[in-house]
Amino acid sequence: MLVNSDGKPWSESGFQGAWGKATMRAGIRGLTFHNLRGTAVVALARAGCNEVEIYSITGHKPGDVQAILTAHYLPRDAEVASNAIAKLNLYREGRARGQKEDENTPTAFPTRLKTAKEKTEKS
C-alpha cells in the first residue's frame, strides 16, 4: 500500500494531487497513474513474469492482467512478437533434431497454473 509523507494511506484526492505535481515536474503530460500500471504489466511480461507474479505486483485482478496483455499492448508489440518467433524457431530446431516434447513445452496458455488434480493425474 502506498502511504503519504505522514505514513498514512493516500486519499484519492491526495494521491491525484501528488501525481499531478510529480508529472508536471517530470514534464509528462496526458498520462495517468492507470497508464503506469498498464505499462508495468507489459514490462513485467517482457521480463518473463507470469500472470500471477504480475498481478501480485500491480494489484490488478488476474483477468485484467490477461485483458491488458491481449487486448491493448502485446498484439502490437514488436519485441514480444520477436520473442515469440525466436521461441517458435527454437522449438522447430529441437523437433528437427528429434527432441521429444515434454511437460515443459509451452502451451497455448503458458501462464496458466496447473491444478493439484492435473498434477496428480500426470503422475
What digits encode the pLDDT tens for the residues 3-61? 888 999 888 898 889 888 999 999 988 888 888 888 888 889 888 888 899 999 998 98
Query: ∠86-89-90 over CA atoms, to 5°?
Result: 90
The answer to whether position 123 is within a domain reads no
- Report the domain count for the chain: 1
The answer to whether position 77 is within a domain reads yes
Q: Cα–Cα distance between 29 and 23 in angstroms, integer?
A: 7
pLDDT at 27: 92
Q: How confident is the model at residue 115 (pLDDT cuts 50, 70, 90)?
A: very low
Range of the domain at 91: 12-97
pLDDT at 54: 92
The answer to whether position 92 is within a domain reads yes
The answer to whether position 38 is within a domain reads yes
